[in-house]
Amino acid sequence: MTLALKVAATAAAIASVAMFAGLASAQQAAAPAAPAATPMVAGPGGKQVPDLNGIWGGNLVAGGTSVVDSCKTVADAFAREGGRFAYQGRSGSQQWVTFEQDCGIGHRGKLNKPIYKPQYWQDVRLHDYYANAGGEWADYADPDWKAVDGVPRMGAPNKIVQTPNEIVFLYQTSNIFRIVPIDCRPWDPVMQYDQTPMGLAVGCFLADGTLVVKSTAFSDGTWLDWNGYVHSNQMTVTETFKRQGDNLVYNVLVEDPVYLMQPWSIGQRSLAVQKDPTAQLLQDVPFVDRSLGNLADPSYRG
In the prediction, which pLDDT does 18 show? 46
pLDDT in tens, 206-225: 999 999 999 999 999 999 99
Determine the residue type at 298. P
Nearest to 127 by CA among 115, 135, 137, 136: 137
Cα three-residue angle 151-149-67, rounded to 5 degrees = 95
204 DSSP β-pair partners: 212
Residue 38 to residue 51: CA distance in whole angstroms: 7
Nearest to 250 by CA among 281, 212, 279, 223: 212
Q: 213 and 203 in contact (C-beta within 8 Å)?
A: yes
Q: 225 and 252 in contact (C-beta within 8 Å)?
A: no
Q: 282 and 67 in contact (C-beta within 8 Å)?
A: yes
Question: What Rg value do the Cα atoms of the chain yield, rounded?
Answer: 26
pLDDT in tens, 8-26: 555 555 445 444 445 445 4
SS3 134: coil
SS3 22: helix
pLDDT in tens, 127-181: 999 988 888 898 999 998 888 999 999 999 999 999 999 999 999 888 999 999 9
Residue 163 to residue 141: CA distance in whole angstroms: 39
